[in-house]
Amino acid sequence: MTATGRVYDRGYRPYEGELGGRRAARMALLKASMRRALGIRRAWRQKLFPWLLLAIAGVPAIVNVGVAYLTRDRIEGGIDIITYQEYVGVSTALLVFVGLTAPDVVCPDRRNRTLPLLFSRPLTGVDYVIAKVGAIAAIVFAFGLLPQIVLFVGQTLVSDAALDYVADNAAVLWQVPIAVALLALYYASLAVAVSSFATRRIVAAAALLLLLLVTSVAAAILTEGQLEPSAWEAINLLAAPLNVRDLVLDGEVTLGSLAGVNGATGLALGVYALVVGTSLGTLLWRYRWIET
């Protein structure tokens, strides 16, 4: 302290403004969870993997536009390495991102016993579930859609007739966002639900990836050697959102695991609804009462 310095006790100042209610609490938790998932305000180690994975998810779009640009004068119509439809859910980077970040936004709340601090505020279990699933879904949606936008804008610019390209592909402007949103909801609700049972992040991540891999392998074993497409493919949880993607973009399952199966539309919608519904129901059950 200098000779002229003086220490002030500023005491306590009451808050004069209005407090938000449940909606504000929910939004604040959602934003905090998104920041955590993306490593914002955290050490660089926590930023590295999420951003690396999200960058990887965008690589095919950039490569596709680059190749289309380089071949625009040599090959009529250019080369499409990947279509908009294939791009929805094709990148495992997004899946790995969900596997890493969903546990990170849920498990520490139980492990550090932070839940009582959250639930002593104007927040309910429903709000908590919406915020956590919403945070992961919002990031997956944003980073699932961004490459598609790069792809669309790039392809438009390198095409011979930009307006014709836009007119020919106008449908994807609404189809792709819906398909990506459905994919994001699927990944987020399943990953957060699995994570809600673990206090350790590594356990939750392993459980999620194991669940997806086991159902995928089980479907492959059950359908092996069959000449006709089999309804057993419905148990493949890894492929389930891609069947729904096909429904949005083509009106029927064309590329997904249920392509050619009788009643594929109903099966695809049923499995999707069952997984998302069960995941959200499980989460609401898990957070109906909070131990303090």
Partner 1 sequence: MPPLPTGWETVPVPMLAIDRLTRTYGATSALDGLDAVLEPGVTGLVGANGAGKTTLFRIVLGLTKPDAGTVVVDGIDVTQDPVAVRSILGYMPEHDCLPTDQSAADVVATLGEIAGLPARAARQRASDVLDLVGLDEARFRPIEGYSTGMRQRVKLAQAIVADPKLVLLDEPTAGLDPQGRHEMLELVRRLGSFGISVIMATHLLDDVQTTCDHVVMLDAGRLVASGPTEELLHTTGVVRVDVGGRGQELLAALEHEATLLADGTVEVNIEGEDDVDAIVAAVAGAGLPLHGLTSQRSTLDDVFLAGSASASA
Binding site for partner 1 (CB under 8 A): 10-15, 17, 19-22, 24-25, 28-29, 31-32, 41-42, 108, 112-114, 116-124, 289-290, 292
How far CA 181 is from CA of 142, 176, 228, in Å, comes to 9, 8, 31
- How far out from the chain centre does Cα 40 lie? 18
Q: How far is the CB of 43 from partner 1 (least distance, A)?
A: 8
In whole angstroms, give the CA distance from residue 94 to residue 103: 14
Q: Which residues contact 287 (CB under 8 A, 6 or more apart)?
A: 125, 128, 129, 196
| For partner 1, the closer CB: 81 or 117 | 117
| For partner 1, the closer CB: 44 or 289 | 289
How far CA 205 is from CA of 138, 199, 233, in Å, comes to 19, 11, 24
| For partner 1, the closer CB: 2 or 292 | 292
Q: How far is the CB of 211 from partner 1 (least distance, A)?
A: 27
Q: How far is the CB of 19 from partner 1 (least distance, A)?
A: 3
Express the helix, strand and coil content of the chain in percent, nearest 5 each: 70, 0, 30
Decide: residue 182, CB within 10 A, 0-12 exposed, 13-18 middle, 19+ buried.
buried
In whole angstroms, give the CA distance from residue 105 to residue 42: 13
Q: How far is the CB of 79 from partner 1 (least distance, A)?
A: 46
Q: Which residue do the tokens 């007739």 mark?
A: 161
Q: How far is the CB of 21 from partner 1 (least distance, A)?
A: 7
| For partner 1, the closer CB: 119 or 186 | 119
Other C-beta atoms within 10 Å of 173: how many?
13
| For partner 1, the closer CB: 21 or 77 | 21
Q: How far is the CB of 289 from partner 1 (least distance, A)?
A: 7
| For partner 1, the closer CB: 10 or 74 | 10
CA terminus-to-terminus distance, the chain: 44
Angle at alpha carbon of residue 257, lines to 274 and 239, rounded to 5°:
50
In whole angstroms, give the CA distance from residue 292 to residue 289: 10
Q: How far is the CB of 125 from partner 1 (least distance, A)?
A: 10
| For partner 1, the closer CB: 49 or 69 | 49
